[in-house]
Amino acid sequence: MAATSCSFAGSTIDFGNVTNMTQTQYSDVAHASVTAYASGYTNGWVLCMETDTNPASNHAGVSHELQALVDSAHSTSATGLSYGDTSFTDIPVTASGGSQLLLAKGPFSTTRTTPYDAIQSYQLSMGSELASGSVAQIAYTLIEDTSSCPST
């Protein structure tokens, strides 16, 4: 796998041109912070993600072109905090009927005033399908719950 750089413009990450039959990783390029300074909540929170488009890929070992993971080594470490997918996993598509991708779960606290940070890496897996430029919008969902992510 090639690890490469990407470019940023505002809230946009540009992975550049990726050729067929390649798998390229972009390490620690997105940062989602959750401030959970609150009282009166019996449940914790979950942070999930989905995308509006994720084309199918015939690259070995994946179903879609765009995958993500949480880099737990570079993310916040705290009591009661856990991370979902720490290996590359397809990002679910909005309205596909499955669950969103779990990034993190954690507690609410009246003593912690700093945010919990989930650092994400991405991977593009291009098979032999004819690739054309596309734009994928990533959406995050933060809810009070300790069970799981909502359906897409």
What does pTM read for this prediction?
0.86
C-alpha–C-alpha distance, residues 14 and 136, integer Å = 10
Note whether residue 22 is domain-resident. Answer: no
Q: Please work out, in degrees rounded to the nearest 5, the angle formed at the alpha carbon of residue 40 by the alpha carbons of 34 and 45.
A: 30
Note whether residue 19 is domain-resident. Answer: no
Lowest mean pLDDT among 38-52, 71-85, 86-100, 127-141: 127-141
Note whether residue 48 is domain-resident. Answer: yes
Domain boundaries, position 76: 31-128+135-144
Note whether residue 1 is domain-resident. Answer: no
Note whether residue 18 is domain-resident. Answer: no
Domain count, the chain: 1
Cα 4 off chain centre by: 18
* Residue 100 tokens, joined: 């969103």
Tell me the pLDDT tens digit for each residue of 39-72.
787 788 999 999 999 999 999 889 999 999 999 9
* Residue 132 tokens, joined: 């054309």
* Residue 68 tokens, joined: 């993500």
Give the chain's largest Cα–Cα span: 53
Note whether residue 17 is domain-resident. Answer: no
